[in-house]
């Protein structure tokens, strides 16, 4: 069991921010990552579609021997976590609960902001989790769909990115939030730009860091018996994945395989 890999899936390349944190926390674990680059983005899609994709992605990781599945994608975590937990024979964790817990323990004035995709915000998954944890917190949410392409473009320092962040965050800043959940895989890439806009008095909660800490509680370091091997799979566009991945991870990805989940067979 211990030798089996940790499985991580995302709608595409953004989940590598979660992979990066988990790799840091578990240097000896083998990790299988699947990015659904053929069907990204999940953010604007219906819950039925996102759930169906998420189930296929998780089953693929099971076929690869995953001993635990981490849903890196906030949109998938928002709509498919319970279904996956109820139907899969291995533990499944998502990013919502760890992010919400960190935010609740961080806030001093009880005003928490959440930014994410349209799907994540519409689902109210973070708000529900926060009010389960602490009734008297007030939650202010904002969908920020333009931040995903800006992060993928590598425009971390671009004025367009700063302006876009300012525009999206204006209503949350007016509510005087003191904590902001980065509820999308791509936002940790823009962390510095977001911090500059909100100022030092607002604490940013990185769901990627939070889920990796939760994983550590379930899978302590001493369990590690692998050799720290990475296996990356995507459903399309290997070159683009490689290019963005090298920026996010600061390493060159050599072992990358394209798969067709619909047919469950390898294309290359
Ligand atoms: N991975 C998605 C998330 O964290 C962002 C990209 C998408 O819309 O698929 O919600």
pLDDT tens string 116-133 = 999 999 999 999 999 999
The predicted pLDDT at position 5 comes to: 94
Q: Are 226 and 208 in contact (CB under 8 A)?
A: no
73 is catalytic: yes
Ramachandran area for residue 35 (φ above 0: left; ψ -120 to 50: alpha; else beta):
beta
Catalogue the E-assigned strands of 117-193.
Answer: 138-143, 179-183
- Closest residue by CA, ligand 1 atom 2: 73
**pLDDT-wise least confident of 28-32, 175-179, 264-268:** 264-268
**Paired sense of beta strands 31-35 and 138-143, if any:** unpaired
Put simply, whether the predicted model's pTM sits higher than 0.85 gets the answer: yes
CA of 225 to the centre of ligand 1 (A): 31
Cα distances (angstroms) measured from residue 161 to each of 56, 152, 183? 33, 12, 17
- Please state, in angstroms and rounded to a whole number, the distance separating the CA atoms of residues 44 and 66: 28
pLDDT at 268: 30
Torsion sign across C-alpha atoms 192, 41, 258, 185? positive
Cβ proximity of 72 and 95 under 8 Å: yes
* The predicted structure's pLDDT at residue 267: 34
Tell me the mean pLDDT in the region 93-106: 98
CB count in 10 Å sphere of residue 122? 17
Active site annotation includes 144: no
Find where tokens 């990805």 sit.
253
Q: For the chain, how long is the longest CA-to-CA vector?
A: 53
Dihedrals φ, ψ of 92, to 5°?
Answer: -130, 130
Q: According to CATH, what is the number of the domain 6-94+210-267?
A: 3.40.50.1860
CB atoms within 10 A of CB 86: 8
Q: Is the pLDDT of residue 237 over 80?
A: yes
Ligand 1 atom nearest residue 117's Cα = 10
Which protein residues touch ligand 1 with a CB less than 6 Å away?
A: 10-12, 14, 40-43, 73-75, 117, 120, 148, 184-186
Domains 6-94+210-267 and 96-207 share a fold: yes
In the chain, beta strands by DSSP E: 6-10, 31-35, 68-71, 92-93, 111-116, 138-143, 179-183, 203-206, 230-234, 256-260, 265-266
The edge-to-edge listing of strands for the beta sheet with 138-143 is 138-143, 111-116, 179-183, 203-206
The catalytic residue among 73, 84, 147, 180 is: 73
For residue 266, pLDDT over 50 is answered with: no
Q: Is the pLDDT of residue 176 over 70?
A: yes
Tell me the pLDDT of the chain averaged across its residues.
Answer: 94
Atom of ligand 1 nearest to the CA of 40: 9
Cα–Cα distance between 246 and 222 in angstroms, integer? 29
Ligand 1 midpoint to CA 125 (Å):
14
User: What class does CATH assign to 96-207?
Assistant: alpha beta
| Ligand 1 mutation target, pool 15, 35, 184, most atoms within 8 A of CB | 184
Q: Give distance in angstroms: CA of 1 to centre of ligand 1.
A: 30
Ligand 1 center to 223 CA (angstroms)? 30
51, 70, 75: residue to mutate for ligand 1 pocket, most atoms within 8 A of CB: 75
In the numeric block, the tokens 């007016």 are attached to 174
Over residues 12-35, mean pLDDT: 96
Residues paired with residue 182 on neighbouring β-strands, in sequence order: 115, 206
- The whole-number average pLDDT for the span 90-103 is 97
pLDDT tops 80 at residue 221: no
Instruction: Determine which residue's CA is closest to atom 6 belonging to ligand 1.
Output: 41
Is beta strand 203-206 parallel, antiparallel or unpaired with respect to 230-234? unpaired
Domain ranges, ordered by start, for the chain: 6-94+210-267, 96-207
Q: Which residues, at least 6 apart from 72, have a Cβ–Cβ distance to it below 8 Å?
A: 8, 9, 10, 14, 15, 17, 18, 19, 95, 185, 208, 211
Locate the ligand 1 atom nearest the alpha carbon of residue 10 and give its number: 1
**So what's the pLDDT on residue 29?**
94
Q: How far is it, in rounded angstroms, from Cα 102 to Cα 182?
A: 11
Neighbouring residues of 125: CB distance < 8 A, sequence distance ≥ 6: 77, 78, 79, 96
- C-alpha 130 – ligand 1 centre gap (Å): 21
Determine which one of 184, 193, 197, 215 is catalytic: 184
Q: How many A from CA of 73 to the centre of ligand 1? A: 6
Buried b (16+ CB within 10 A) or exposed e, 1-13: eeebbbbbbbbbb
């Amino acid at each position: 069991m211990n030798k089996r890999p940790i499985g991580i899936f995302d709608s595409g390349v953004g989940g590598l921010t979660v992979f990066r944190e988990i790799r840091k926390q578990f240097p000896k674990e083998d990790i299988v990552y699947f990015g659904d680059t053929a069907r990204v983005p999940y953010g604007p899609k219906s819950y039925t579609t996102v759930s169906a994709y998420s189930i296929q992605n998780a089953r693929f990781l099971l076929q690869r021997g995953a001993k635990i599945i981490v849903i890196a994608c906030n949109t998938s975590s928002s709509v498919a976590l319970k279904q996956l937990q109820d139907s899969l024979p291995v533990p499944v964790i998502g990013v919502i609960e760890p992010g919400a817990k960190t935010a609740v323990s961080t806030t001093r004035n009880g005003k928490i902001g959440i930014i994410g995709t349209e799907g994540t915000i519409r689902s109210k998954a973070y708000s529900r989790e926060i009010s389960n944890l602490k009734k008297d917190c007030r939650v202010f949410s904002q969908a920020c769909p333009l931040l995903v392409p800006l992060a993928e473009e590598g425009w971390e320092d671009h004025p367009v990115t700063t302006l876009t962040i300012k525009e999206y965050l204006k209503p949350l800043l007016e509510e005087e939030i003191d904590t902001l959940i980065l509820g999308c895989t791509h936002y940790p890439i823009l962390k510095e730009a977001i911090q500059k806009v909100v100022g030092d008095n607002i604490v940013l909660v990185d769901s990627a860091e939070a889920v990796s800490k939760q994983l550590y509680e379930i899978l302590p370091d001493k369990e590690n018996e692998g050799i720290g091997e990475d296996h990356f799979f995507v459903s399309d566009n290997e070159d683009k994945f490689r290019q963005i991945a090298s920026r996010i991870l600061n390493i060159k990805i050599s072992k990358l395989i394209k798969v067709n989940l619909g047919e469950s067979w390898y294309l290359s």
